[in-house]
Amino acid sequence: MDPLLQAALDARNNAHAPYSNFRVGAAIEDESGRIHTGCNIENATYGLTLCAERVAVFKAISEGARKFKRIAVAADTATLTPPCGACRQILWEFCGNAELTLVNLQHKTETFQLKDLFPRPFDASFLD
């Protein structure tokens, strides 16, 4: 299996999801080939919950990574689960039009370019 997909599946095992039991893992490959992972972390107030994709991006940024090639998101769903809107915005801002692969526990996959899931994104170009 692709190491990026396996890293997302493995990260899913670390999810803290006592309220929804919806465990998600994410992995991001930076330009040097390093893989940064994240999992969803729920909070009793729900609004303070962090998705796996945002955890992976913020972790990668905090470790010095700045350019990214690929993203993988893993969940235990028959229908592959794409990132939520907030995560799409963060992924676009930090990863641009990166390749995004969704994977489930049965190793079913689907791959997109981020622009296909997030057409007409808002980014820094609108702030000029």
- Using pLDDT thresholds of 50, 70 and 90, give the confidence band for residue 11: very high
Helix (H) or strand (E) holding 60: helix 52-62
CB-based contacts of 37, cutoff 8 Å, min separation 6: 7, 8, 10, 11, 25, 26, 27, 28, 56, 59
Question: How distant, in Å, are the alpha carbons of 48, 54, 113 from that of 29?
Answer: 26, 14, 14
Using one digit for the tens of pLDDT, what is the confidence trace for 59-77? Answer: 999 999 999 999 999 999 9
DSSP 41: B
Residues ≥6 apart with Cβ < 8 Å to 106 = none
Q: What backbone torsions phi and psi does residue 5 show, to the nearest 5 degrees?
A: -65, -40
CB-based burial, 79-95: b 16+ in 10 Å, e otherwise: eebbbeeebbbbbbebb
Reduced to 3 states (helix: H, G, I; strand: E, B; else coil), residue 20 is coil
For residues 110-115, give the mean pLDDT. Answer: 97
Q: Is the pLDDT of residue 90 over 90?
A: yes
Which residues are known catalytic residues? 53
- pLDDT at position 128 is 80
Domains belonging to the chain, first-starting first, are 3-118 (3.40.140.10)
